[in-house]
Structure formats: C-alpha cells, structure tokens
Structure 1
Amino acid sequence: MITRSLVAAFTVAALAMVIPHSDAPAALAPVEDEGAACAVPALPDAGALPTVATLPDPFTRLDGTRITATGDWTCRREEIKKLSEKFVHGTKPARPQTVTGTVTSTNITVNVSDQGRSASFSASVSLPSGTGPFPAVVVVGGLGADTTTIKAAGAAVINFDPYAVGKEGTGRANKQGAFYTLYGSTSSTGLLMAWSWGVSRIIDVLEQSGGTILRADATGVTGCSRFGKGAFVIGAFDQRIALTMPIESGTAGVPILRGVPGEGAQSLSSAYSEQPWLGDAFGSFTGSPTRLPIDMHEIVAMVAPRGLFIMDNPHIANLGPRSASVAALGGAEVYKALGAGDAITYWSDIQNGNHCAIRPEWTTPLQQTIRRFLLRTGTDPGTFRISAKAAGNLAEWRDWQTPTLTTGSSPSPSSPSPSNPSSPSPSTPGSAGCTASASVNSWTGGFVATIRVTAGSIPVNGWSVGLTLPAGVTITNSWNTTRSATTGAVRFTNVAYNTQIPAGGYTEFGFQATGPTPTLTPTCS
C-alpha cells in the first residue's frame, strides 16, 4: 500500500486563513436529498477498483467528465453519496412510509413504520430563554459543542440518543436499535448512517409540527469523538441541516482514509472492528484505502454550501488531525467553487489537549456560526486555524485543480431535475424569458414546495413568481426569496444573491406551508 507523509512545514503557531466573505447565505435544501432524482451511472465493482494514492477529484463525474457549472454539483454530489453508501457507510434508506410524532418544549417523539415494521424513539429538548420558535442544535450522545454557549446564542438543544437508533456493542450480524428494527439486524448499513437516518426522522417531525416551538429550517448538529463521527455523517447526508459541527471525530470521521495509516491514527481495521460504525462493505478496504473511489474530503464537500464548523485536537495523533486538516482543505475547494468559501471553518489551534474538552478558543466562532447559519443574523466569515502540530498539506494529496464554475447548470441528459423526487408541475412560460415549475414534498397536514425559476435564451436580471394558494393553505416560512403574503395570491421575488440567472440557467427558492397539498401552477415574469 502506498502511504504519504503529512509533515507540517510551518514555523508559526498555527496556519490561519480567513476566507473572503460572501453576502450570499448558504443554500439550505428543503428536502433531505435534493439529488434523489439524478440519474447516477452504474457504480464500479469493488474488485475492479484501481489503486490511486491521491485523493479522488470531487469535480469529476463517474463518466469521466468534469462539472462546469454550480448547478451540476447537485447530481455530482449524488454520485458521491452513492459511492459512500456502497463502499464506506452503507445505504441510508429514504424516508419511511409513515413518520409521525410530537414536539413539545421538553421532548420530541418519533414513530416510524415501513414495509409492515414499526419503531419509535424520542429526544429531549432544552429551550433557551426568550420567545420561540427557536432554531435547534442536535447534540449527539450528549457530547458535542458547549450547550451553554449554544443556548446563550439563542438556539435550543435537542439531546439525541444515537443508541436508541443504532446500538453499539453489537456484532455486525446482530445490529440493534430502531433503524435495524425496520431494516433488519443483518443490514449492511453501519451505525453512523443509522444515526443519520434517525436525525432525519426528527427533522421530519419538526417539519410536521408547524414550527411553533422549534424551526425545522434552522437545525444544526454536533458531537464529539464517536459522536463527532456521527455528527459529520448526519450533516453530510441531510441537506435540511443548516450547520454541521463535528468535534475530534477521528478515524471514520473527518480524516482522509488514505492519510490515516501514515499518520499513526487509529487504524482503519481497528475503527472498523471496534464498533460497526462503518458499513460492512468497508471491511475489504481496511488494508487498502487507496483502492477506494472516494475519500472523506468528498464527504466534507457533501455539506457544501451549508454551514460547516470542524473542531479538532492536534495534541492526540490517534485522532488523525493532520488527515482531518487535509480533508477540510480538500472539501473547502468545493465550497470555494460554489461561491460559498466563507461557509466552512476548520479550527485545531487549541492549547488544551484533553479529549472533548470545552475550549475557550471555540466559543466565539461557535457563537458566530450559530448566529449566521441558524439565527441568520450574522455575517462572520469562516476561517481556517490549523495548528502547526498537525498541519497537513493538500498539495501532496491531489493531482487535480479546482475549476471555475459558471452559474446555473450545464445541459446534461443524465441530470434530471434534482429538487425533489416528486413529479414537478408543468413549466409556465413567463412574459420576460423565464419559466417557473414546482415540486412538492408532502405529509399529513403540510408540505414543502420547491420552485425552480429557469431563464430562457437570454439572461434574467430580476424575477418575480406568482401563484395562488387554495383556501386552508398558509405559508409558515420561506427561503431564497421575498414573499408578499402567506395565504391566497402570493408574489415571490428575488433576493440580492439570486437576482441574475444566466441564459438557460436556473435558481430555486422554497417555502413550507400547512394545510392540504395543492397543485401549484407558478407563473414567472
């Protein structure tokens, strides 16, 4: 196996890099996986994978072509997701047939059923002072970012017990917890993906609750150590999560898998066998990570362009902090290409080396990221503060360059509308060279609508979409747009960062509403 040295070449205390700020907030998808409708080519067989020492190019599709536009990322991200499910984490099933539950000021209950099987679990809630509805941070396993700081910043805390969904201490042939009750104790899906599925079901319930206590469109997740691994996967695999904050996640978390053997971190075989965190299929790669067609910098990239704050510990080599810094730097290239370079922070410049300690260095950036991505009242840019004790060099690990992506989407017959697996309504021609189409994801008593605005043969500079909601439908929140009303005839207009659409390109906005699911026929002008 080919390994590489990750020797830091810094003489200062830390590598500090402030990423230029953009006025555009990170896009938050209204659905768990906006690329679910993308046509993904056949994945390679494990036995036919070549050995490649460098990190895979996140911008190159499975067919060998590179993406050229920001809109192409949706379906490229879906390819990365499928590769991860097949070779690293195991499959994350789609939303079960039935998801119900309750939200109170102290508790969330979740009831799921699928294919004749049912399971339930719950999570406790701790609200901050003030008047809601509140954004919320899911704390995995009770161990993550400082909850006092989270609540002081104005966000609630949801205490999620991951073992209720996927229990540790079980063999791979006898997995237990709510996930495995539904999908079988011999499921090849690992615990980290099962935990991700569980938090997604919590968000389902938050959406159904109407947002009177907790806002479904302002959810974050955090965890430390093994729960940091979980927080990382949770945030990567649900695009409704606005802010992902893994801490000291170690092997099977943020660190690149190719770098772990050369750094002296917990070995891949040890992490695979300690607990069934990773999917069963990963077992054939523990001694040969260079055969993997994917690596963790691409899981970092899956979070883009949403908020990501990675906290790490350079004092414990077993955690693989050098490899983690490489993953963050590699994923940040996708953030920058998408125009969201200031939405990612990596911070390992800390003094206290104790594992999972509460650190004063992280207090301010934690407050800033919560204000920006959950409260949406801040504009502080992300920063890279990499300790010289564990600074990796991305240049040693890549043989690809970051492309300059155009705005919109390049034509591709293999990339159908990714916004929602639901069938979209027909596009309605507008009077000024734009069309609008709608797709809806519904549940009992409510729905989320995604509206796509597409330019015609000439660029659009400013757009307006009108639609009429039937009686009984009320909009509770919206994103990427300014709306004129919550009921009846509603006019949606562009905001500053999506005013312009190139010829043939598109932008999307969305809203959440209560009431019966309508057939939406938007018109664009």
Structure 2
Amino acid sequence: MYFHRHRPRAWAAAAFVVAASLVTTTLSPRAASADEHNGADCAVPGSVPPVSESLLPDPFTKLDGTRVSSKAEWECRRAEIHELAERSVYGEKPAPPDSVTGTVSSSDITVNVTDQGRSTSFSASVDLPSGSGPFPAVIVYGGFGADTDTIKAAGAAVISYDPFTVGAEGTSRNNKQGAFYDIYGSSSGTGLLMSWAWGTSRIIDVIEQSGGGVLRTDGTGVTGCSRYGKGAFVAGAFDQRIDLTMPVESGTGGVPAFRGIAQESGSQPLDSAYGEQPWLGDAFGSYTGDPSALPVDTHEIVGMIAPRGLFVMENPHVEWLGARSGSVAALGGAEVYKALGAEENISYSSDVQDGTHCATRSEWRGPLRQSIEAFLLGTGEAPGVFRISPGKAGDLSGWRNWRTPTLTGDGGEEPPGDEDPPGDEDPPGDEEPPGDGTGGVCTADYRTVNSWSGGFQGEVTVRNDSAGALDGWAVDMTLASGQSISNLWNGESTGTSGSVTVSNTPWNGTVAADSTVTFGFTATGDSSTEPGGITCSSP
C-alpha cells in the first residue's frame, strides 16, 4: 500500500495591505508553498519491514531496496526519510492548514491559524538590524541560540519565537497544550519538537505572503540552543523554505545519532530524553531500549537539510550533550551533501574552549557570519568547515557499511561556497587538487581544506588511473614536525605523526577505472607546511 503525504493545496488569492512598517496578510483557504516539502507527492510505502541494524542506515537505499543514483531521485528518497522520521521519531507534521492570516511589522509578527474547524493564534517579536530593509531573518527559539549580536551585525533581523506558546513543556503526553494542540488535540502523538517546527512554518507562511516590505521572503534561518537546538534542527529538516539551520548544543533528540547515544558513556540516555519532556513523538518510546530497530537515524535528518545551509555547533565539555555522537551524525549527513555536490554548505564546530552550556563562543562568530552572508544575504562564501574536538571525535568508518554515490543531474540551484567538508567520493569537476603523488596504479593528491590557529583540515583524493578496477589502496605521507592527526575519516591509519600510512576502509577499497575516493583528517600543528612524500599504491 502506498499513499501521498502532505499534498499542497492550491494557492488562493491573498490580499496585502502595506502601510509604513506594517504588513497585513490574509490567506483563506491557506496552503504552504510547495517548497515546504518538495517531495509531498512522492509515493511512500504505508508499511515497511522491521529493522535491526546496529550501524547507521544507508541514506541512499530506497525502501524498495534500490539505491539512489541521481539528484532527481534523491527528492523522493528524502520524502521516504521524512515519512519514516515522522512515524518513528517526531510524530506527524500535519498537512498545510486551511487558513493562515497574520501581520508583519518592524516589531512583531502575528499568526492566526484555522484548520479542521479549529482556530488558534500566537505571535513573535522582531528586532531589525541597522540599515534599510527588507531584511532576511533568523528565527531564534526561546531566546537561546546562535549569537544574536553577530546575526544582526551580519545584516539579518532576529525573530524571537517562544515555542512554548505552540507546544508547552511540563505537560503529560496525553494532555499536551499550546497552539498546535489547540487544533490537533491534546492527545496528539506529535511531540513538542515537531509542534514547534509547525509553528516556525506558520511564521514563514506569514512572512512569505507579506510582500517583503519589512522582512525578505527569500532568506530565513532558524537557530536554538539545548532543547531549542533540538527544535531548530527539526524545523530546518521539515521545512525546505528554511535557508540556514543552526542548532547549538542540541543533545539527545537533536543532532547526535540515536545509535551512538546508546553507546556513548555520560550522554543523556534515550529513555531520559523521551521522558524528560514530550519532545519526541509518542511512537519513539518503542525504540528507547533498542535504537537498532529505528528505520532512520539523525544523520539522515541532517541529509534532509541538504543542500541548504547547515551550521552545527556542539559543546564537547558537557558529557550529557553527546558531542561524539553529534560528530558521527554530522559526518554521516555530510555524505549526503557530498553526493549532491554541495559539500561546502555544511559546517560543524565542536573544537571550542569555553564549556559553559549555551555560551556565546568566539570560535563560532566567524563561520556564523559567513553562513548568514552566504545563505541569507547571497554574498560571500559558505564556511564549509569541520572543526571536531579531538576529545569528542566520532569515527564514521565504524558506523557504516555503505558507500556514498556520486549522484548525477543538476539537482537545482546550489548556494555559494567552495570548501569541502569530509566525504567519501569526489563528485566530478573541472578542477584537480594539487599534488604529485604516484605509486602503483593510483595517484594521491592532497589539499588543505581549512586552517585555524593551531590546526588544519586536510583531504586526500585517491584516483584510479588504470584501465581496471582498483582493489584496495594505501597512501603514504609524511607530516611536518609538530603536526599530528587528531581525527580521520574514510580511511584507516597507522600512526598519527611523522610517516603515516592511510589505507582503505572495507567499503571504499574498490575504485572503478578513472574514479576517485577521498579521505579526510583534522590535525594539530602549523598548516603552512603541507604533508610531503605523498604516494599511493595498490596490491
């Protein structure tokens, strides 16, 4: 049995009244832009076989067992992940409401929703940056998220959204309260995180139809820290109109992989996060003791955001937050970005000094501003950097047995940026990275992806130059004095300093003729001297 989810209704006529700083929007009947969920018309199986998988599920294998091979196919694969995540993790995000009305001014946004014969309303405040608008905007959950001073300095407005008005904490699962539950019932199986995402989408509805007099209709971000970081992450995944998603220290129920959390000592257990508040959907209770039965994991939720902007900020100093599992999920999700040719659009940072929960951190200001400029203003380049704390570095190679495909097709417009986060295979392109390593039937080329005070991120591309398939490979290189590898992905190394050999993992040793794979690493030390003596060999 197949069914279609969230089919958008046709737009009705909308009346706009624009006067000074106030825009009044009326929509009736109301439907979300198709961009809210581009795969709404994809057929998804009504039921799937039980799962028992200790590793991260393959984001590129469809429910019918075939693998995604093109960017066009990814849209419906994303719709499958969307549906499975609703069923097992978050609860349903309802189809677009019958009516949404509201106002946008320089100081606030009002939202009125009617659906299924019931009505509700809520509001959010607006804080504009200096200069003349209209401005892009970042929706900040609960007053805690990415640094609002930096957001405004970059040229974006701040929308302060109290998610508790839409889904209140401190309630039982059978008596949920707030604007969402006013319409869909206090016993709804949808958890608070998805109800908050629904509220975010309704704010965007009003902005989108306001005519752009105060806030731009084509540049919206979302951020939050801790529980609000969980909420921002879910909002970005379930509304494709959000151009930039910035979860901060989201912990269990946010970015960190559920399967990883179950094995990460000191992190908040799954049953604790499920029981602390009704953040997750009611159905998730069946998986708290056995996450291997989950049909999805959070690396795939990261992948749902691709190719849009994503900047994940994590705190490695608080064990409860599960930063190691967060890095695993981010690395796994980055493979979706890489497959779509949008590697530069995901950034991750957990290598920070200050351990205070939800503190403003100097290490995040630069990439935060770059992200806003690239994804909300359309200027500059995305930061495209992974800075993983050495003490909380997950190893993706131990969490997967699948390879990352190079998806064909144009896949639509991609935001700017030119730096690659870690990945598995190198999509075709016109530029070759620098290097002159040779050996056997393969070559190895190195490039520095990013650098910072006291460290850098490197990437090595292994190319098969022979007429037949490569069956295994090994790269030798020599790190300069003072350099030491702190984290490595998509390869297995002997040694971390001096002379180092990196060989293939079990899944990326076979390389077709004239094809490539990559491995990446972060290292401490001076980045001005590149690793030397790079050679590649194959058995």
Percent of counterpart pairs with the same letter? Answer: 67
The letter of the residue matching 1:268 is L
Following superposition, the deviation at residue 66 of structure 1 comes to 0.3
Aligned residue among 42, 63, 67 for 1:38 = 42
Following superposition, the deviation at residue 404 of structure 1 comes to 1.3
Equivalent runs, 1:255-266 vs 2, <5 Å: 255-264=256-265, 265-266=267-268
SS at match of 2:307: coil
Following superposition, the deviation at residue 279 of structure 1 comes to 0.3
Q: Is the 8 A contact 2:232 2:246 kept in 1?
A: yes
1:404-461: CA deviation from partner (whole Å, max 9, x where unpaired): 111158xxxxxxxxxxxxxxxxxxxxxxxxxxxxxxxxxxxxxxxxxxxxxxxxxxxx
SS at match of 2:100: strand
The letter of the residue matching 1:275 is Q
Following superposition, the deviation at residue 189 of structure 1 comes to 0.2
Could you say which structure has the greater relative contact order, defined with CA pairs below 8 angstroms and 6 or more residues apart?
Answer: 1
Equivalent runs, 1:446-465 vs 2, <5 Å: none
Q: Is the 8 A contact 1:314 1:389 kept in 2?
A: yes
Aligned residue among 273, 276, 297 for 2:275 = 273
Q: Is the 8 A contact 1:315 1:389 kept in 2?
A: no
Does structure 1 residue 248 correspond to structure 2 residue 252?
Answer: no
SS at match of 1:372: helix
Distance (Å, rounded) in 1 between the aligned partners of 2:47 and 2:169:
30
Q: TM-score, normalization: structure 1?
A: 0.71
Runs of 5+ unmatched residues, structure 2: 1-32, 412-539
Q: Is the 8 A contact 1:222 1:246 kept in 2?
A: yes
Distance (Å, rounded) in 2 between the aligned partners of 1:380 and 1:35:
26
Distance (Å, rounded) in 1 between the aligned partners of 2:278 and 2:405:
37
Following superposition, the deviation at residue 30 of structure 1 comes to 6.1
Alignment match, 2:365: 363
Does structure 1 residue 222 correspond to structure 2 residue 240?
Answer: no
SS at match of 2:262: helix
Distance (Å, rounded) in 1 between the aligned partners of 2:143 and 2:52:
39
Distance (Å, rounded) in 2 between the aligned partners of 1:320 and 1:224:
14
Alignment match, 1:25: none
Does structure 1 residue 329 correspond to structure 2 residue 335?
Answer: no
SS at match of 1:262: coil
Q: Is the 8 A contact 1:30 1:240 kept in 2?
A: no
The alignment covers a number of residue pairs equal to 378
Alignment match, 1:406: 408
Alignment match, 1:88: 89
Does structure 1 residue 154 correspond to structure 2 residue 155?
Answer: yes
The letter of the residue matching 1:405 is L
Following superposition, the deviation at residue 314 of structure 1 comes to 0.7
Q: Is the 8 A contact 1:312 1:321 kept in 2?
A: yes
Following superposition, the deviation at residue 42 of structure 1 comes to 2.5
Equivalent runs, 1:371-520 vs 2, <5 Å: 371-407=373-409
Following superposition, the deviation at residue 216 of structure 1 comes to 1.9
Distance (Å, rounded) in 2 between the aligned partners of 1:356 and 1:32:
29
Following superposition, the deviation at residue 346 of structure 1 comes to 0.4
Aligned residue among 342, 345, 357 for 1:343 = 345
Following superposition, the deviation at residue 39 of structure 1 comes to 1.1
Equivalent runs, 1:156-305 vs 2, <5 Å: 156-264=157-265, 265-305=267-307
Distance (Å, rounded) in 2 between the aligned partners of 1:261 and 1:306:
29
Following superposition, the deviation at residue 154 of structure 1 comes to 0.3
Alignment match, 1:318: 320
Q: Is the 8 A contact 1:142 1:160 kept in 2?
A: yes
Following superposition, the deviation at residue 389 of structure 1 comes to 1.0
Q: Is the 8 A contact 2:91 2:189 kept in 1?
A: yes
1:96-142: CA deviation from partner (whole Å, max 9, x where unpaired): 00000000000000000011100000000000000000000000011
Distance (Å, rounded) in 1 between the aligned partners of 2:352 and 2:113:
42
The letter of the residue matching 2:363 is E
1:341-386: CA deviation from partner (whole Å, max 9, x where unpaired): 0000000010001100000000000010000000111114410000
Q: Is the 8 A contact 2:259 2:292 kept in 1?
A: yes
Distance (Å, rounded) in 1 between the aligned partners of 2:338 and 2:119:
43
Runs of 5+ unmatched residues, structure 1: 1-28, 410-525
Distance (Å, rounded) in 1 between the aligned partners of 2:51 and 2:63:
14
The letter of the residue matching 1:215 is R
Equivalent runs, 1:6-155 vs 2, <5 Å: 31-44=35-48, 49-155=50-156
Q: Is the 8 A contact 1:245 1:308 kept in 2?
A: yes
SS at match of 1:258: helix
Aligned Cα root-mean-square deviation (Å) = 1.0
